[in-house]
């Protein structure tokens, strides 16, 4: 699980990084709001932890800006400000949870588990201009680069179009007829060419990863979801 930590106090940031890495998380650090925003919107993270008092872009404004692009990404705010008004302001900015410094790592770990559990089973495709994101998959519509867990996946043009259509239509069954019309611009779904391309795609994006994204629904078609 990849977490972005945005904290301007380097000592605190390193302490959080060390504590979370000991729990098995992968951590990326940013020391100001500007860098935090750049990382959040150009990489894929399962959760974001940010301080409120940050240089360049403060945490409240940063949270609003990230939330406008990534409406479903869990965000935990860390702050020394612990009044009710401060918490309300944080939640109004788009935070999912709020933790007052100093805190126990067991509490932070519990909050992370609760948020990620709440988000499991309801994956969505995040769209940011030319970027599509679903689960740990990222597709750049301009550069035609596809990544999963930061591993670049080489696709043919037709495989790319098929994956793009599935990423734009997640968690619903896509019939062979629909795929033939939308991806191949043909009404002919009588042959097995769609199944062949689905198998090609599966080998590239699912074979070497524990969570599978392409699933067959017998007699109906295919569904793109994290299982």
pLDDT by residue, tens only, the chain of 227 residues = 899 999 999 999 999 999 999 888 899 999 999 999 999 988 888 899 999 999 999 999 999 999 888 877 889 988 877 666 767 777 788 888 888 888 888 888 888 887 776 555 445 555 556 788 888 899 998 889 999 988 999 998 889 999 999 999 999 999 988 888 888 766 655 568 788 899 999 999 999 999 999 999 998 999 999 98
- 0.75 cut: is pTM over it? no
Asked whether 79 and 51 are in contact (CB, 8 A), the reply is: yes
Domains in the chain (CATH in brackets) are 2-119 (3.40.50.2300), 125-224 (1.10.10.10)
Q: How far apart are CA 81 and CA 96, in angstroms?
A: 16
The reported pLDDT for the residue numbered 154 is 94
**What three-state secondary structure class fits 62?**
helix
167 half-sphere exposure, CB direction, 13 A CA radius:
26
Alpha-helical (H) ranges within the chain are 10-22, 33-42, 59-69, 84-93, 105-119, 157-168, 176-183, 193-205
Q: How far apart are CA 209 and CA 90, in angstroms?
A: 36
Q: How far apart are CA 197 and CA 173, in angstroms?
A: 17
């Amino acid at each position: 699980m990849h977490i972005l930590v945005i904290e301007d106090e380097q000592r605190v940031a390193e302490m959080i990084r060390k504590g979370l890495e000991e729990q098995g998380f992968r951590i990326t650090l940013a020391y100001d709001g500007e860098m935090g925003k750049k990382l959040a919107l150009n990489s894929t993270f399962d959760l974001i932890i940010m301080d409120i008092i940050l240089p360049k872009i403060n945490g409240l404004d940063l949270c609003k800006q990230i939330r406008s692009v990534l409406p479903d990404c869990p965000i935990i705010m860390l702050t020394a400000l612990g009044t009710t008004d401060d918490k309300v302001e944080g939640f109004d900015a788009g935070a999912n949870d709020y933790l007052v410094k100093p805190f126990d790592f067991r509490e932070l770990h519990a909050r992370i588990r609760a948020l990620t559990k709440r988000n499991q089973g309801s994956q969505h495709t995040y769209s940011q201009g030319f970027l599509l994101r679903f689960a740990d998959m990222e597709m750049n519509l301009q550069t035609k680069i596809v990544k999963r867990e930061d591993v670049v996946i080489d696709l043919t043009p037709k495989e790319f179009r098929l994956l793009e259509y599935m990423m734009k239509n997640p968690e619903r069954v896509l019939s062979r007829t629909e795929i033939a019309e939308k991806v191949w611009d043909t009404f002919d779904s009588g042959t097995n060419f769609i199944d062949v391309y689905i198998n090609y795609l599966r080998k590239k994006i699912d074979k070497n990863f524990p969570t599978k994204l392409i699933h067959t629904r017998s007699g109906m078609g295919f569904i793109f979801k994290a299982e």
